[in-house]
């Protein structure tokens, strides 16, 4: 009897989960612009910093109401959300309000960056003086990405 032995490859994350490339296979059709691996890591770090400062809104309802009330920031969407009807209107809302946005491949990673165990559909990161440089750099890189 042959045992299945899992060999860890370079493509896998440090925690043994799916690699970035494998997560990208589960991304839905509307997820453009999709963050590169490096840009995604920067976005997760920014989310982690903003969660410590309480300068972020998470979830569809909170983000949607915050944008409607006129709050500005950076929106990070999860790319593996189904059904699409849940948040398909939000990228257009961001475009209308001139809010930069980007998709990341995994909602579980988005939740983990906030410090919770559950996944998250979207996050609005507000500008704060503690991480202004990182925020501005990320916004600049996101605006350089090709739009649909």
Our measurement of the distance from residue 61's CA atom to the centroid of its chain's CA atoms, rounded to an integer in Å, reads 16
Q: CA dist 20 to 4, 13, 27, 34, 41, Å?
A: 23, 8, 11, 12, 10
Q: Are 103 and 23 in contact (CB under 8 A)?
A: no
At 147 the pLDDT is: 84
The 10s digit of each residue's pLDDT in 56-108 is 999 999 999 999 999 999 999 999 999 999 999 999 999 999 999 999 999 99
pTM for the whole structure: 0.86
The 10s digit of each residue's pLDDT in 13-63 is 444 589 999 999 999 999 999 999 999 999 999 999 999 999 999 999 999
Rounded to an integer, what distance in angstroms lies between the CA atom of residue 123 and that of residue 32? Answer: 16
Structure tokens belonging to residue 18: 């799916």
């Amino acid at each position: 009897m042959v045992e299945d032995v899992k060999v860890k490859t370079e493509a896998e994350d440090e925690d043994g989960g799916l690699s970035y490339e494998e997560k990208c296979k589960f991304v839905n059709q509307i997820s453009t612009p999709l963050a590169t691996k490096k840009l995604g890591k920067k976005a997760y770090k920014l989310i982690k910093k903003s969660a410590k400062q309480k300068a972020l809104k998470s979830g569809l309802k909170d983000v949607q109401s915050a944008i409607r009330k006129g709050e500005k920031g950076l929106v990070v969407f999860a790319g593996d959300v189904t059904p699409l009807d849940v948040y398909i209107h939000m990228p257009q809302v961001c475009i209308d309000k001139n809010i930069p946005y980007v998709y990341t491949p995994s909602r579980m990673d988005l939740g983990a960056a906030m410090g919770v165990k559950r996944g998250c559909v979207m996050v609005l990161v507000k500008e704060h003086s503690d991480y202004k440089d990182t925020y501005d750099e990320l916004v600049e890189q996101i605006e350089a990405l090709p739009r649909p």
